[in-house]
Amino acid sequence: MKLFNFVGIAMLCLSITSIKAQDLKDLRAKPDTVISVQKEQPLNIKTIRPIVPKLDLEVDYWKHWTKFGINLNQASFNDNWKGGGVGSVAVGLNANHKSDYTRDNFNFVTEVDLRYGKIRNKGNIAKKNNDRIFWDNKLSYKLSANWALFTSVTFESQFDAGYKYKPVNGKDTIDYIENAFMAPAYLTESFGLEYKPSNEFSLRFGTGTARQTFILDERVKPRSIDGYYQRYGYYLLPDMSKPEADNNKRKGTGDRFGVKEDKSFANALAFQITGNLDKNFTDKLNVKARYNLFADYEKLSDPTHRLDVTITAKVTRVINVNLNGIMIYDPDVISRVQLSQSLAMGIVFNMPK
């Protein structure tokens, strides 16, 4: 019985194996089977060129800043006022523009600073209390992180005539003219090294500097004894105007602003140091200063100094308080230090904002 069972199981396994082998054989391709191969059809691909808008993108190497403002001050008193004081009106205008071009190691900066102001006290002549034309142009080539070669051209003058006044019979009267537009005017060319550790501070050493001084107003031009007489028909000293007066006591105006008598032009070669500071200590407080030393090679021991300082405190977006100070020592004008100070509140517009 056991033998019969074993034989039955063996036959069943052989049958299953045969069925599987037959199935696999049927799945194989016969040698005479024809396989249909379709021919490749050419692809019709159209080239599409999308329309891309042209972007005129250019690198702008220029930066510009412009600032202009007006300051007003007024005071008045009626006839019954016993506290003292004099009615007055003061107006001040100022404008500043700066452009900076930087590309690779080259840098060009041009800056214009214009100021003009007048004040009139009741019963007196209106007098100017601020007057300046300043235009500085500098081209530099960077040698290292902090040092550069530079060349610069600077122009300085004033808009209006300035007078010396004296009282005559209790009234304010013009005594004589001291300066005027283009009298004097200074044109300074300089070449040397610039130390600039940051955008806030720079120091120029102009080893090769030339300055031309112009006096183009006949009222300011320095004159000799004869030149003064030819111009005005009398000699400079009233008590020397008579023909029989002692000629040795007569004199001319002397040199003015470094220009000799009967001349309108002077040229000087010098060594120059120029320092510039423009720093925002806070978002509402800015200090701007410029110092210039001009040492004529013919008189190095007595150089000219000028320091301009402006402290600006922002009250609102358009209202500022300005404190201005000027210190000048110029032996060609007067052998003493000249000082000027002003404090004003006014409206200031900045572009860009």
Overall average pLDDT of the 151-157 stretch: 98
Question: What is the full DSSP assignment across 50-118?
Answer: ------------EEEEEEEEEEEEEE---TT--S----EEEEEEEEEEEEEEEETTEEEEEEEEEEEEE
For residue 43, the model assigns a pLDDT of 67
Could you tell me which residue, 116 or 48, shows the higher pLDDT?
116
Average pLDDT of every residue of the chain: 86
Peptide bond into 184 cis (omega under 30): yes
Task: Give tens-digit pLDDT for 298-353.
Answer: 989 999 999 999 999 999 989 999 999 999 999 999 999 999 998 888 999 988 75
**Cα–Cα dist 49/266, whole Å:** 70
Task: Report the Cα–Cα distance between both ends of the chain, in Å, rounded.
Answer: 113
Triad 352, 62, 272: Cα angle to 5°: 100
- Name the amino acid, one letter, at 48: I
**35 pLDDT exceeds 70?**
no
- For residues 315-340, one letter each, b for 16 or more C-beta atoms within 10 angstroms of the residue's C-beta and e for the rest, the string is eeeeebebebebebbbebbeeeeeee
Phi and psi torsions of 297, nearest 5°: -60, -20
- Cβ distance 122 to 86 under 8 Å? yes
**245 pLDDT exceeds 70?**
no
Cα–Cα nearest to 73, from 322, 315, 318, 351: 322
Give 193's pLDDT tier (boundaries 50, 70, 90).
very high
**157 pLDDT exceeds 90?**
yes
Give 83's pLDDT tier (boundaries 50, 70, 90).
confident
- Name the amino acid, one letter, at 20: K
For residue 5, the model assigns a pLDDT of 55
For residue 58, the model assigns a pLDDT of 80
Overall average pLDDT of the 164-179 stretch: 91
**Cα–Cα dist 290/224, whole Å:** 36
For residue 307, the model assigns a pLDDT of 97
For residue 86, the model assigns a pLDDT of 80
Give 54's pLDDT tier (boundaries 50, 70, 90).
confident
For residue 352, the model assigns a pLDDT of 77
- Cβ distance 220 to 177 under 8 Å? yes
**18 pLDDT exceeds 60?**
no
| pTM (2 d.p.) | 0.80
Overall average pLDDT of the 8-12 stretch: 59
Question: Three-class SS of residue 160?
Answer: coil
For residue 27, the model assigns a pLDDT of 52
Q: 274 - beta bridge partners?
A: 204, 292
- Cβ distance 339 to 347 under 8 Å? no
Query: Of 19-33, 47-61, 325-339, where does the model show the most confidence?
Result: 325-339
- Cβ distance 332 to 258 under 8 Å? yes
Calculate Rg over the CA atoms of the chain. 44
Could you tell me which residue, 343 or 275, shows the higher pLDDT?
275
For residue 123, the model assigns a pLDDT of 84
**90 pLDDT exceeds 70?**
yes
**293 pLDDT exceeds 70?**
yes
